[in-house]
Structure 1
């Protein structure tokens, strides 16, 4: 079985399973970021729903992550692998380049991530529901290159980058990063010196639907890759710093229909209900209409 890690609970311990409570908290995040950045406007607010097939619910473990995106480790949320078309630069005209390769949003962008598996365990109260809201992140940073993202990671605590840098030397401590990391920058003596494709053991599926990112020509025998789609600089790499994302370790909200992917990330019309059995007539997006 592929390795999995429990998704940490972050910023949700004091929230009820009320959509109203969630909406209020997201509005607070927007106001807080606006208070930190002069260029950031509180509206319009943009949202994407990301069904992550690598997220599952297990009765004995809660919500678990078995893939590289999003990454939740070290108090940082990041989405830099997968959903390439959703993250293509031309979709986002509300990012401002504050230094080469580093961008800040000028309008709020929330990424709602839900479990995408259809064979998850089911809590007693859930009656067959399987697709859970696992995190909501207000994007605070975007990067063009994996080297730009790597430099940002090195400015964070070690816990933020040690499980993300895929190109580290092999050891027990780096096994998760080499297989499930989301940053393909080359680090030498604490500095970013370039970008490369991850090792063949990296557990990622390309848009071509093949393992090892669809590459068929060997340039570096150690890597067995010629090109890696994650490294495309026209595909923005998203991050949310510690105060601006929420996650659940146990199911609270569920999607009921059709969260398959589409060209901007999937599920815009997906119906999503709160945990309570009451008032299940509105979607999360309609209930959050004052914020989205």
Structure 2
């Protein structure tokens, strides 16, 4: 069985499990971020849904993750692997480049992640609901390249990057990063010196010798090749610093309304989630747009 980790509980200790409280909390995050950046408008509120097939609910252990993205470790939220089409640059014209390769949002951009559907257990009280919301992040940074992202990680605490850098030498401390890390920067003596493929055991490497992403270009002939989309500079890598994201270890909210192909990420201007305890018409993103 692939290694799994419990999704951490973060940023919602004082909240009840109601949409109203969640909406208030997200509004507070937007207002707080606006105080930190001059070139930031509090509206419109933009959102995307990320159904993460690698996150499931287990009756005996709560929400668990067995994939690369999002990454929740060391107090940092990041999405730098997976959902490549959703993260293509032309979708996000509400970012500005503040230095080469580093972008900051000019409008609120929330990324709602929900659990997988097929392999999740179902709590007794939850009928047949399975698409549990696992985290909500207000994106605070975006990066063009894995090298840009790697430099940002090195500015954080070690706990933030040690489980993310997939190109590290093998040790017990780096086992998760080599398999599930979302940063493919090469680091030498504490500095980013380039970008490469992760090791063959990584989720985004095909050992078949074929091009998994459908591209005919061989980036590294030794092992090929989903990671090459991860390294594409036209696909933004997202991060949210410690004060701007929330996550749940147990189900609280669930996704109910379909809104487009998962590959593109849904949710902007669309109904997305309902309170887990009630069947009601109001949904998080639609209500957010009317409030903020």
**Quick check: 1:122–1:129 contact (8 Å CA) kept in 2?**
yes
Q: How many angstroms does 1:213 deviate by?
A: 5.3
Question: What secondary structure sits across from 1:125 in the alignment?
Answer: helix
Give matches, 1:230-245, under 5 Å: 230-245=230-245
Q: C-alpha distance in 2, partners of 1:282/1:272?
A: 8
Give TM-score scaled by structure 1 length: 0.91
Q: Secondary structure at the match of 2:21?
A: helix
Superposed, 1:30-49 pairs within 5 Å as 30-49=30-49
Once the two structures are superposed, what CA deviation does each residue of 1:115-139 show, in whole Å capped at 9, x if it has no partner?
Answer: 1222311112101211101100000
Other structure's SS at 1:97 match: strand
Question: Which sections of structure 2, spanning at least 5 residues, go unmatched?
Answer: none
1:183 aligned partner? 183
SS at match of 2:156: coil
In structure 2, relative to structure 1, the CA distance for the partners of 1:24 and 1:270 (3 Å cut) is closer
Could you tell me how far apart the structure 2 residues matched to 1:240 and 1:87 are? 15
Counterpart in the other structure of 1:282? 282
Tell me the SS of whatever aligns to 1:285: helix
> What corresponds to 2:135 in structure 1?
135
Aligned residue runs from structure 1 range 5-20, under 5 A: 5-20=5-20
How big is each residue's C-alpha offset from its partner over 1:84-116, in whole Å with a ceiling of 9 and x where there is no partner? 111111111111111100010011100001012
- Change in Cα spacing, 1:60 to 1:90, as seen in structure 2 (3 Å) is same
Unaligned stretches of 5+ in structure 1?
Answer: none
SS at match of 1:288: helix
Return the alpha-carbon distance in structure 1 between the equivalents of residues 180 and 42 of structure 2: 34
TM-score, scaled to structure 2: 0.91
3-state SS of 1:131 partner: coil
Aligned pairs (5 A) from 1:1-292: 1-204=1-204, 220=220, 223-225=223-225, 228-258=228-258, 261-262=261-262, 264-266=264-266, 269=270, 271-277=272-278, 279-291=279-291
Distance 1:71 1:190, change over 3 A: same
Structure 1 window deviating more from structure 2 (279-288 vs 105-114): it is: 279-288
Count of aligned pairs between the two proteins: 288
> What SS does the aligned partner of 1:228 have?
helix
Judged with a 3 Å threshold, the aligned counterparts in structure 2 of structure 1 residues 182 and 211 are, in CA distance, closer, same or farther, namely farther
Aligned-residue RMSD, C-alpha: 2.3
- Cα contact 1:42–1:108 (8 A) shared by 2: yes
Question: Is contact 2:205-2:224 (8 Å) kept?
Answer: no
Q: Is the CA contact 1:55–1:65 (under 8 Å) kept in the aligned structure 2?
A: yes
